[in-house]
């Protein structure tokens, strides 16, 4: 058997949005800006900077306008924000954010529980967002959440994902993410669903977004690469837990993912040491982390032989 690995991958940092959104204490605007500027300086080419949603829905994101207006832009970096409706797109534009992301759950029960609408109704509502964005030269990205499983329904049929992706594609979206919102994906499923989506929608730039809830995130990334996906989301320090499993792991840690890519000889264009420093800083700010590399260090950090004597 043979396996092909990509020469390079594209990494998107979602910590400032997905990582932080469920943190109980609001991180100061200056710190959010430091993270966004830090990852861009480290070489990350796509950064999800926040979400323009109702401040009561996600209090941590109430300051996204201020953050978005203020951070220093790095040439060549895409800054993306989550929006849920036309108001969000307008706020994004007013804050100088030219790329927005619309999310729809693949699961009826998940969509209804969160927003009291069916996935189709949600996508209908996105039409005006896409039209406004097109009229103002903004790019629209999309995400299908619970694509690999819903905590209420279990597995979502691939045909349902395809239908939803098709409707999102029809809105004129340039890129789509398959999001494993609650960490239910497994490598076989990732390979099969990713392969199918790439085949059905070859013009779409596909992203995969994994949570490490059951420890499978890096295994899923490996399977995704084998299906031909080269774009992956991660979150500094592994922030962003699962709301249905308190205490469980959150998004896959950016530093763990980038470390794996580099160990495999896959280019990211990112300075791993810089990312690890930022992850450590964020851990100190929020008081927790879920990151193997923050605990163990990288594979490249060798131990002086004298240390071995102490181990006996």
CB of residue 7 to a second copy, shortest distance in Å:
12
CA-to-CA separations, 206 to 31, 200, 294, 299, in angstroms, rounded: 30, 11, 29, 30
Q: Is the dihedral of CA 186, 154, 156, 258 positive or negative?
A: negative
CB of residue 9 to a second copy, shortest distance in Å:
13
CB nearer to a second copy: pick between 72 and 309: 309
CB nearer to a second copy: pick between 247 and 287: 247
Which stretch in 3-11, 46-54, 76-84, 281-289 sits in contact with a second copy by CB under 8 A? 3-11
Per-residue binder mask for a second copy (CB under 8 A), 177-206, x = binder? ------xx-xxxx-x---x-----------
Q: Is 118 in the site for a second copy (CB under 8 A)?
A: no
| 242 labelled catalytic | yes
Per-residue binder mask for a second copy (CB under 8 A), 14-53, x = binder? ----------------------------------------
Residue of 310, 289, 277, 292 lying closest to 39 (CA atoms): 277
Which DSSP string do the residues of 40-102 spell out, in sequence order?
Answer: HHTT-SEEEEEEES-TTT-GGGTTHHHHHHHSPP-TT-EEEEEESSHHHHHHHHHTT--EEEE
Q: Is 218 in the site for a second copy (CB under 8 A)?
A: yes
CB nearer to a second copy: pick between 141 and 194: 194
Residue keyed to tokens 């029960």: 109
CB nearer to a second copy: pick between 172 and 280: 280
Under a CB-based contact definition with an 8 Å cutoff, are residues 256 and 35 in contact?
A: no
CA-to-CA separations, 263 to 42, 168, 234, 252, 298, in angstroms, rounded: 18, 35, 17, 17, 9
Q: Which of 62, 222, 230, 286 binds a second copy (CB under 8 A)?
A: 222
Under a CB-based contact definition with an 8 Å cutoff, are residues 234 and 253 in contact?
A: yes
Residue of 236, 168, 234 lying closest to 201 (CA atoms): 168
Active-site option among 12, 129, 242, 299: 242
Q: Name the maximum alpha-carbon separation found in the chain.
A: 69
Q: Which of 7, 137, 202, 302 binds a second copy (CB under 8 A)?
A: 302
Crossing angle for the helix pair 272-286 and 254-263, nearest 10 degrees? 160
Under a CB-based contact definition with an 8 Å cutoff, are residues 227 and 32 in contact?
A: no
Q: Is 299 in the site for a second copy (CB under 8 A)?
A: yes
CB of residue 238 to a second copy, shortest distance in Å:
9
CB nearer to a second copy: pick between 155 and 274: 155
Residue of 59, 57, 35, 62 lying closest to 49 (CA atoms): 35
Binding to a second copy (CB under 8 A) within 231-290 occurs at: 242-245, 247-249, 253, 256, 259-260, 263-265
Query: What is the separation, in whole angstroms, between the first and last Cα of the chain?
Result: 41
Beta bridge partners of 140: 100
Q: Is 298 in the site for a second copy (CB under 8 A)?
A: yes
H or E segment and range at residue 310: helix 305-311
CB nearer to a second copy: pick between 92 and 190: 190
Which residues are part of the catalytic machinery? Answer: 242
Q: Which positions lie near a second copy, rule CB under 8 A?
A: 1, 3-5, 57, 109-110, 113-114, 149, 151-154, 183-184, 186-189, 191, 195, 212-219, 221-223, 226-228, 242-245, 247-249, 253, 256, 259-260, 263-265, 292-293, 295-300, 302-305, 307-309, 311-312
């Amino acid at each position: 058997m043979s396996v092909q690995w990509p020469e390079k991958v594209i990494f998107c940092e979602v910590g400032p949005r997905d990582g932080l959104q469920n943190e109980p204490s609001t991180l100061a605007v200056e710190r959010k800006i430091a993270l966004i500027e830090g990852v861009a300086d480290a070489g990350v080419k796509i950064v999800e900077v926040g979400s323009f949603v109702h401040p009561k829905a996600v209090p941590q994101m109430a300051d996204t306008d201020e953050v978005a207006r203020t951070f220093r832009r790095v040439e060549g970096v895409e800054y993306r924000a989550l929006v849920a409706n036309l108001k969000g797109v307008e706020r994004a534009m007013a804050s100088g954010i030219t790329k927005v992301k619309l999310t729809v759950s693949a699961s009826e029960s998940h969509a209804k529980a969160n927003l009291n609408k069916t996935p189709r109704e949600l996508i209908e509502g996105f039409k005006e967002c896409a039209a406004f964005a097109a009229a103002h030269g903004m790019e629209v990205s999309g995400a299908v959440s619970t694509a690999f499983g819903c905590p209420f329904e279990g597995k979502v049929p691939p045909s349902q994902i395809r239908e939803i992706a098709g409707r999102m594609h029809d809105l004129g979206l340039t890129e789509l993410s398959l999001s494993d919102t609650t960490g239910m994906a497994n490598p076989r499923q990732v390979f099969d669903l990713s392969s199918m989506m790439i085949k059905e929608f070859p013009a779409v730039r596909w992203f995969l977004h994994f949570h490490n809830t059951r420890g499978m995130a890096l295994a899923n990334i490996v399977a995704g690469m084998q299906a031909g996906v080269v774009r992956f989301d991660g979150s500094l320090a592994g922030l962003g837990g699962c709301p249905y499993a308190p205490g469980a792991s959150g998004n896959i840690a950016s530093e763990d993912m980038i470390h794996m890519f580099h160990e495999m000889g896959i280019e990211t264009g990112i300075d791993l040491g810089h990312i690890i420093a930022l992850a450590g800083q964020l851990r100190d700010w929020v008081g927790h982390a879920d990151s193997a590399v923050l605990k163990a260090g990288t594979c490249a950090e060798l131990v002086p032989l004298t240390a071995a004597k102490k181990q006996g």
